[in-house]
Amino acid sequence: MTKTTKIPFRTAALVLAAAAALTGVGMSNVAVADPPKVNDALQREAAQHVRKAGPPGYVVRIDNGRQVYTLAEGVADKSTGRRLTTHDQFEAGSNTKTFTATLALQQVDRGRLRLDAPVEKYLPGVVPNGRNITVRMLLNHTSGLFSYTGDPAFFTDMAKDPQHVYTDAELLKIAFGHQPYFAPGKGWQYSNTNYTLLGMILQKQTGKTMPVLVRERITEPLGLAHTYYADPKTGKTAHGYAIEYASGTPRYTDISGWPIGSWAGPAGAIVTTTDDLSRFFSSLLQGKLFSPAQLEQMKTTVPLPADYPIKGGYGLGLFRTDSACGTVWGHGGDTMGHHSTAVATEDGRRTAVSDATGEPNDPTENAGVKRYYEATVFGADVVTTCQMLGRPVPAEVLASLRG
């Protein structure tokens, strides 16, 4: 994994939550008529593997088409020792992008938004070269726009004033202060700036805030009683911890009081539970949130760079990942204190959602950071996905759990 600044919502590290964990030998869509039950001992082994790497807690929910399996290990609050439960809410980070993309595609269904129209049409004078950047390019990260979280000073400044609430204008000023990664449509680069702009378009068109849009058009229709868009702060959630590994002994900073909605916005401000996030992705892939035509648009992917640690493609706010155990669809997210992953089968009938309540906060990679990603991204997430699909976990992953 390549990192140039701190880890949550980095230009590349953020997307690894969704899919890089699952890289391996690609397979076509998996169909298992009678999947075996989830192996509880293996899931607990994976959870312990994660906790040894630093996160105080780990929660997982697997629906393999036959049973719903849940597991929570560790604590939700280090200061009180409160145990983590399977019903705890957590910051879902870039899983939010799928919510934002859903709202955009609903606008397409309404005839209010055109995927291949230039951004200049909807936000005149806001985006440099906006006449050549389309809405689709924002959604699938081919715009070339620099991600504001890629600015080397962004997280340093946040640590100095964690309660600062960024305006869209402030975030765009940071992003547009850097040269684009490439000309519009000439490459692929994950950028949170794309989704800030999508949020601006949605709010301008509807006259409603993102929290209201998410509630009225997604959470209430689906009955997601424990999911909301932080505006800017969260309510009671499992505490998240920024972990510094450089000294050799992990140091924890509780970031649960930091306002995730103040800087992550349409790119990462959703708070949810494993139950709700599972229902969201299941409903999404079963076409319950917009027309079949828009679902096909969402699932139309562009290839990821050849050297990228993800095998698959990116659609409109949705990853297709050719994992070690089969093809899955979903997203994921890293905030200052959480790493979450949500994947599903293409028909939406199987889902797997997990969250680790800690995230590396070192400016550069070290042994502790590497161990964290091997445990969560390249260990537990693979186990969870394979269990969902009813496929054997790769031997090398099992070896890493027991090594």
| Angle separating helix axes 96-109 and 192-206, nearest 10 degrees | 40
Tokens matching residue 81: 């020792």
Instruction: List the catalytic residue out of 28, 94, 147, 354.
Output: 94
- CA dist 240 and 77 (Å) reads 8
H/E run at residue 310: none
- CA dist 339 and 58 (Å) reads 9
- DSSP per residue, 223-282: T-TT-EE-SSS--S----EEEE-TTSS-EEEE-TTS-GGGTTHHHH-EEE-HHHHHHHHH
Q: Which residues contact 314 (CB under 8 A, 6 or more apart)?
A: 140, 141, 188, 301, 302, 304, 320
> Helix (H, G, I), strand (E, B), or coil: what is residue 367?
helix
Q: Is the dihedral of CA 363, 368, 369, 370 positive or negative?
A: positive
- CA dist 62 and 69 (Å) reads 5
Catalytic site residue 256? Answer: no
- CA dist 353 and 52 (Å) reads 20
Q: How many residues does the chain have?
A: 403
**Residues known to be catalytic:** 94
